[in-house]
């Protein structure tokens, strides 16, 4: 039944997100980023307070650039 199919995001995350410098909330949870690493450029979105990347099948190490997010209050991997 097509009505019950789940739609998910996948592939690489574009660095065009850097244009959203006022972004405070980023939820990419429950997607299919199989084999994709968490992008380092997320650490340049300095206004981020909330990041949820859980259950998205990212691979590799957590980028140390996330440590630059001094406003971050919630991180779910």
Residue 26: Cβ-neighbour burial (10 angstroms; 0-12, 13-18, 19+): middle
Q: Report yes or no: 40 and 63 within 8 Å, Cβ to Cβ.
A: yes
Model pTM score: 0.86
In the chain, the DSSP E strands lie at: 25-27, 50-52, 74-76
5-56 per-position pLDDT tens digit: 677 888 899 999 999 999 999 999 999 999 899 999 999 999 999 999 999 9
């Amino acid at each position: 039944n097509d009505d019950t199919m789940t739609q998910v995001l996948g592939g690489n995350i574009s660095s065009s997100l850097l244009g959203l410098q006022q972004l405070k909330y980023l939820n990419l949870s429950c997607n299919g980023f199989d084999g994709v690493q968490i992008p380092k450029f997320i650490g340049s979105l300095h206004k981020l307070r909330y990041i949820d990347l859980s259950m998205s099948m990212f691979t590799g190490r957590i980028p140390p650039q996330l440590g630059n997010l001094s406003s971050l209050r919630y991180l779910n991997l």
